[in-house]
Structure 1
Amino acid sequence: MLSASAHVGQVVTILIMAVALGMDALSLGVGIGMKGIRLRDMLRISTVIGFFHILMPLLGMFTGHYMSSLLGYVTTYFAGGLLILLGGHMVYSSFKGDGVQVLDHRSPLGLLLFALGVSVDSFSVGVSLGMFQSDLVLSVLAFGFCGGAMAMLGLLLGRKVSRNLGDYGEAVGGAILLAFGFMFMF
């Protein structure tokens, strides 16, 4: 049984981790928001990201300690690769004009890949939390809420910035995703 001060410390630690994991969603939401996005799509994206911020640490917690050393590197490269793919596609389509949008955030595949790319780092955190006896419900709910809320904030900010950048908004948003993808990879 945890003492009151230990419980408060655990809650604060979980909230700090939730905000830190949500920073990716915020930053990458700005990149997607720069494409120009409707409020309905913003709600859908932030909800899916919130769900993945619950699912991924939960899966990580259940995966266990023996897999963490192998999957820690794989998930980072996978997330980086997804973000490079999405960012490269956004930059390419911004200069090419209106073409076929294979990884559009409005398509189920594009939304899934974006949410997975933003949330995959929480899998590794979940593996780490699984080794400790942290509060499972509090952890995944805090991660989900922060991920979804920060994604929504990023999408709103990106949409606002995109109005000022005009046609270059999608290219700038793609460059942001590319930069984060390369940061994950290297």
Structure 2
Amino acid sequence: MSHVDDLLEIMMMSFALGMDALSLSIGVGLGSISRRTAVQLCAFIGVFHVALTLIGIGFGDWIGDYLGAVAKWFGALLIIGLGVHMAYHTLFSKEEKRPRTIDSLLSLAVFAASVSIDALSVGFSLGLRSVAYGAASAIAFGVVSCCMCGAGLAIGRKFGQAIGHYGELAGACILILCGIGFLH
């Protein structure tokens, strides 16, 4: 696989993982949130995406040494499963998403961690591939998620919840396609 292919794949995964940040930030943007809190939220989400991806990479690399070729299939199936779960939850969840109240650093951290938890699973799969590829991915995930969070807050302030549902579904499809790509 060429470096251009790797870069394209990383950007697609970054976009897919950032969709949660986008859609959930739209809900937050519907409420009243100060600019300072918005900037803090974007930073927290970016940092958590990087940190959780790196933690996942560490575990994936360690397990990859012991499982060998089986680990590649496991990682690909994990990403596909995450995408399928995301699509299922988006299409069939009965719970109504409400704007979230964020009024302290603890609530910012908890919100950011919940938005970023899927990066842990993807990081695990990336660690099965290569640490260098995974580290580059982690940085891209953080930057893109931070930007998508900011975009979601702005959209929420302007347009409401209409894009959130479709954004999550698009992210799910991208994860499934990336997982299939890992199988080759």
Give unmatched runs, 5+ long, in structure 1.
Answer: 92-102, 163-171
Q: How does 1:121-160 map to 2 (within 5 A)?
A: 121-133=118-130, 134-160=132-158
Q: How does 1:33-72 map to 2 (within 5 A)?
A: 33-64=29-60, 66=63
Q: Do structure 1's residue 108 and structure 2's residue 105 form an aligned pair?
A: yes
Distance 1:136 1:129, change over 3 A: closer
Deviation by residue 1:4-40 (Cα, 9 ceiling, x = unmatched): x611111110111001100110000001111121111
Identify the residue that residue 179 of structure 2 maps to in structure 1. Answer: none
Equivalent pairs: percent with the same residue? 34
Contact 2:54 2:135 in 1 (8 A): no
What is the CA-CA distance between 1:157 and the residue it aligns to?
Answer: 1.0
**Alignment root-mean-square deviation, CA:** 3.3
Asked whether the 8 Å contact 2:28–2:101 carries over to 1, the reply is: no
CA contact (8 A) 1:33 1:154 kept: yes
Tell me, in whole angstroms, the C-alpha distance in 1 between the residues paired with 2:111 and 2:2. Answer: 36
Kept in 2, the 8 Å contact 1:28–1:154? The answer is yes
Equivalent residues, number: 142
Assess if the C-alpha contact under 8 Å between 1:104 and 1:111 holds in 2. no
**Separation in 2, partners of 1:55, 1:63:** 13
Contact between 2:23 and 2:152, CA under 8 Å: does it hold in 1? Answer: yes
Q: How far does the alpha carbon of each residue in 1:45-81 deviate from its partner, in whole angstroms, 9 at most, with x for none?
A: 0010000110111111011275997xx69xx8xxx9x
Structure of higher CA gyration radius: 1
Q: Runs of at least 4 residues of structure 1 off by over 3 A? A: 65-69
Is the contact made by 2:57 and 2:126 (CA closer than 8 Å) also made in structure 1? yes
Identify the range of structure 1 (17-26 vs 58-67) with the bigger mean alpha-carbon deviation. Answer: 58-67
